[in-house]
Structures are given as C-alpha cells and as structure tokens.
Structure 1
Amino acid sequence: MKLFSPSMIAAAILLTGCGSKSVDNKTTELHAIKPADVAAYVADYKELAAKLSVQIDGKNSAIEMLDFDMDEGVIYIRYDDGIILLGYDFENEKPKNELAVVRHSDSENALMGENMQLNEQNIGTSITGYLVDKQTAGHYEFSMLFNKSLISGGNSQLVVENNSAFLSGTIGTKTYIQFKELLLDHPSVNRIVFKSVDGSVNDDINMHTGRLIRQAQYTTVMMSDGEAYSGGVDLYAAGVTKEYQSGGKLGVHAWCCEEDKDAGELGKNHSAHGAQLTYFREMLGKDLGPEFYFFTINAAPADDIHLMTQAEVEKYFYNN
C-alpha cells in the first residue's frame, strides 16, 4: 500500500488547528438540474450526508470534508477527534484503500491504515480495517461510510454579521442549503461578502445557489483582501448590485471535462455550454452574459487560473 508522504501528514496536522449534440445556445434554456427538481436533489443529498460516519475503536463520529488536494489524491476529512486522510482517485471519482488518521490529542503521531477493505453498498462505500500506532504498536478497529455527498456538499461557511453574510470555503450543495437557511433566518441581511472562496465542487447546484442570491436581491461584495475563484465568481455575478474594491481577486478558468476536453476547446454551439449560458444570460443579460461566459472558459485552461483585471471587472460587472 502506498504510504502518505510527510508533507501530506503535515498538512493534516496544520488542518487540525483550524451531452455532445449541437444546439442554439443563444436562446435555448437548459439546466443541469431542472428548477422543479432542485428540492428533490437537495433532499437526496441530505439523506446521503446523514449517513456519513466513522467508527474508531468503538467510538462513533459524524464526518465532513475539511479540504482536498487533487494533485496528491487525498481528501482531508474532519471527525470529532481529529483529521482523516483518505486516498481518493479524483479522475474516476472513487476512494482508495489508503488511509491515515491524525488525532487532536497526538498530532505528531499519525495512525496508519492497514488491511483496508472497500465494499460498495447502495448508500456508499464502506471502508474497514485497522489503524496502527507505529510508536506503541497499538491496533484500533476502523470503519467509515463514504459517499458522494462528502465531496459534493463542499465545506463552505456563511457567517452573519449585522446585515452582511461572509462566505468562505469550497462551495457545493451545502452552500445552497446555507443560503436557503439565510433567507429564512436572517431577513435583514442584504450583502454577501466574499472572503476566500476557492471554487465549486458542484457546478450544477451552484447555479441554483446563484439564483437564490439574485432572487433575494443581495448585493455581492468583493473587498480588497477578498478572493473568489471559478464557481465563486459565478456567485459574485449573481448580485443584483455588485461592489468591488481594487485588490480583490476574481479568478476564472475553463471547466473540465466534456469528451476529455476543457470547455474552451468545445465549439460555441456545443450543448455542454447550455446550462452555464442560461445562467449567465439571467445574471448579466442576453448579450453580456454569453460574452462573459466565453471569456472565462478561454481566459485559462481548467488547470490554471486567470485573475480578472480592473478593466475586465468593470466591463463585465458594471456595464449591465
């Protein structure tokens, strides 16, 4: 079994401290998730997320994604007593039998997974085996239930201060739920401030999160020390009015992949653009919306990022 590198263990220690057919894309309305199906989609997510759990040496705990590293192929998972490092095949979207645990109580000594077995179930993948303490030779029984909701939910935080809500983290289905709750629980909020949003793990639901922002008539705010990338920029675009301070970072790039190609490599009438074009026509207008979308997917490939210039920010967000 491949062992986790010292740098990956160190990262976990730090974390403990804190379709192909062509269509007329100019007019056709397309949705990855139809608006009428969003409620059922979120209900399915909640059902799956409720089943996420880990048991270590007989003690049960809920789990949630803390972070992930696609280059290293690892997901950092928070549980009650520390951080779990789970090997993950991002290309094929499935976990590996590579695992380690860093406990809050002994963050310098990682427990390493041994004899890990993966078994597919209707509600996800069960991962079972033993954790070994290399210093004491202690063995602890380990079992965890993993399913797609762990990643697709993201790890965003939406913190309310007075009439503003501060958004940070990786956005996903959890973010949509947070905005639904914000609308119900904090009707006086009228500003969404982007602190550090590194992108979306679920673009399909993210577009509906943007629609919640627009329907609520929120102002979206990028402060001089703020940053939003990829799907975070999609949400920033949803503000009925937008505020931007020089120095704030808005990063865009192509999404991946369709037919093993970045979005920028597809023809303009490719159906895979349809849902995003529908979204940006709603947010920025029938002409500027598509122009902005094609600008983003041609500005940088999926594995890179383009930071928007002041002129680009003004062109796309303050002339509509």
Structure 2
Amino acid sequence: MKRQNQSESTGNNSASGGFFISVFLLVAFLVLPANAAHSASSYVVTETVETLEYEIFEPAPLQASASSSFGNAVAQYGPFQVVAPDMVVMTGTVDSYTPAVFRQMLNRYPGITRIEMLDCDGSVDEEANLELARMIRRAGISTHVPANGSVRSGAVELFLAGVQRTAHPNAEFIVHSWMDEDGREANDYPASDPVHAEYLDYYQEMGVSAPTARAFYALTNSVPFSDQLRLSRNDMARFQLVH
C-alpha cells in the first residue's frame, strides 16, 4: 500500500517509475524462477538403469599366409577356419567359448555342411565339447578326417557328431580314459555309476548301437588318461563309427 500511494501522488513520474519497476520485476522473474522454484519445492529424482553386458565374438584376423591344403581361409572362429561357403577346417582345442563361436560362425555362414578335422587335440571343457557336438548334429554337418589328419581325446566324440563320418585311410584317432576335476578316471567309478551314462547315451544319440557304444567306451577307458591308444580308420570302421 505504501508503494501504491506514492505512485498515485507522483502523476507522470509515477508512470515512468511504474514502467521501470515493471521491467525490473520482469527481469527478476526471468532470471530467478529456477532458484526460486528449487527453494520453494526441492526434490530429487533417481532412476535405476540396468546395465546388460554381452560378449561379442569377432572372427580373428587372418594373416595373408594363412592357408592349408584346402586353400586360403576367409575367416577364423576359434578352432574353425572357413575355407569355403560350405566347408571349415578344424584345428586346435575346444574350450568353454567354442560353442558360442561356432554358433556365430553358422549365423555368418549358414551353408556349412562339412568339417575337415585336420589336427584336433580334444577339449579343456567336456560339457562344452558335447554341447558343440550336438550343435554339429542338429545343423546336419558331416565330419571328415583328411589325409594325415589326427583326432585325439575328446575330439573323437566330436567326430561322432557328423551326420556322415568319413576318414582318409591314414587318418589317426587317439583315445584314452577321461579324468574328472578330482583326478579320478573312468575306472575309478563302479560300472553302475551314472557318470558313465553321459557318454553311453551320447554315443547312442549319435546313432551308435548300445552294444557297440559299450564296447567302444570300454576300449577308450582301457587306457589311462596319461597314455594313448592309436586307432586307425579301419579300427573305427570295425566299431561302425565311420561310414
């Protein structure tokens, strides 16, 4: 009221003063509302954001000299070298990541129908090895061991996954007993132990008859884990494991 009375008593000056007061209030309104709003009603909004992590596998770059008797490789996924739209060459070891790498390879090259098992020394993860084997079978892929090819230890189970299994006359297959994480081997378990069923069931799943599966399983376990038993293509044929 005091300010309003002063404005009324000043005539023209009151209009001028009112103008400046209005401008001042407008500037104050434009400059101060953010701080004023905070002071009048202050609150904090929190938001929880879920972070998802994915492992992305990229094909390893190949050196210009990377080649084999099958020709130049165009891409490599773990132990697999893609040498043609329908064929890969396998060398090396299966580990925990190999099934995921194999899946990525099939997504990129869906026409693969044949795996040439050139130099395969088994696995460091038997569960991953059997998972990979079943993936090979579901994809309808054949396995072949070429001339001078070597398939050893758990890679023999991988060979059996092929819908068609073939081998060159001088191919070799190396078998021995399995050993678990406690250092116990197959023969340390009684014949009735369910641990043996995992392998026997797998052989039959791959089309091997029950009697043949038991005979071949017994042969592999007749050799300690630290030793090796070399089988030829003809030996494998006697067990009807090559076509």
TM-score normalized by the length of structure 2:
0.63
Distance 2:226 2:78 in 1: 22
- Residue 196 of structure 1 contacts residue 228 of structure 1 at CA under 8 Å; is this kept in 2? yes
Higher relative contact order (CA 8 A, sep 6+): 1
Partner letter of residue 196 of structure 2?
Answer: H
Give the structure 2 partner of residue 211 of structure 1. 134
2:90 maps to 167
Q: What residue is the counterpart of 1:295 in the other structure?
A: 219
Q: Tell me whether 1:257 sits opposite 2:180 in the alignment.
A: yes
Q: Is the 8 A contact 2:140 2:162 kept in 1?
A: yes
Change in 2 beyond 3 A, CA 1:317/1:174: farther
Long gaps (5+) in structure 1: 1-42, 51-154
Which structure has the larger Rg? 2
- Whether the 8 Å contact between 2:178 and 2:186 is mirrored in structure 1 is yes
Q: Which has the higher helix share?
A: 2
Structure 2: gaps (5+ residues): 1-51, 58-76
Residue 34 of structure 2 aligns with which residue?
none
Contact 2:150 2:172 in 1 (8 A): yes
- Cα deviation for residue 306 of structure 1 reads 0.8
Aligned residues: 171
* Corresponding residue number in structure 2 for 1:240: 163
Instruction: Give yes or no for the alignment of 1:222 onto 2:145.
Output: yes
Of 178, 185, 192 in structure 1, the residue corresponding to residue 108 of structure 2 is 185
CA contact (8 A) 2:236 2:242 kept: no
Q: Which residue of 2 aligns with 1:198?
A: 121
| C-alpha distance in 2 between matches for 1:239 and 1:245 | 15
* 3-state SS in 2 of match to 1:168: strand
Give the match for residue 80 of structure 2.
Answer: 158
**Equivalents in 2 of 1:317, 1:192: separation in Å?**
19
Task: Say if 1:256 and 1:263, in contact at 8 Å, map to a contact too.
Answer: yes
CA contact (8 A) 1:236 1:242 kept: yes
1:194–1:227 CA contact under 8 A, matched in 2: yes
Distance in 2, Cα, partners of 1:261 & 1:208: 22
* Aligned mates of 1:286, 1:317 — CA distance in 2: 9
Q: Are the counterparts in 1 of residues 115 and 142 from structure 2 also a CA contact under 8 Å?
A: yes
Write the mapping of 1:41-56 to structure 2, written as runs, cut at 5 A.
Answer: none
Determine what percentage of the aligned residue pairs are the same residue.
25
Taking the aligned partners of 1:187 and 1:236, their CA distance within structure 2 comes to 20
Query: Quick one: structure 1 residues 319 and 159, their matched pair in 2 at CA, closer, same or farther if it must change by over 3 Å?
Result: closer
CA contact (8 A) 1:283 1:289 kept: no
Task: Identify the residue that residue 208 of structure 2 maps to in structure 1.
Answer: 285
Task: Spell out the pairing of 1:101-180 with structure 2 (5 A cutoff).
Answer: 156-162=78-84, 163-180=86-103
Return the alpha-carbon distance in structure 1 between the equivalents of residues 132 and 225 of structure 2: 22
Q: Give 1:290 shift.
A: 3.1
Q: Deviations over 1:267-313 (max 9, x none)?
A: 22112212222211101334123332222122x11001111133321
Partner residue, 1:37: none
Contact 1:254 1:301 in 2 (8 A): yes
Deviation digits for residues 160-191 of structure 1 (CA, Å, limit 9, x no counterpart): 11121111111112221122123211121110
The answer to whether structure 1 residue 272 and structure 2 residue 195 are counterparts is yes
Q: Which residue of 1 aligns with 2:20?
A: none
Counterpart-to-counterpart distance in 2, 1:236 and 1:205: 14
Residues 62-102 of structure 1, C-alpha deviations (whole Å, 9 max, x = no match): xxxxxxxxxxxxxxxxxxxxxxxxxxxxxxxxxxxxxxxxx
Paired residue type of 1:223 = P
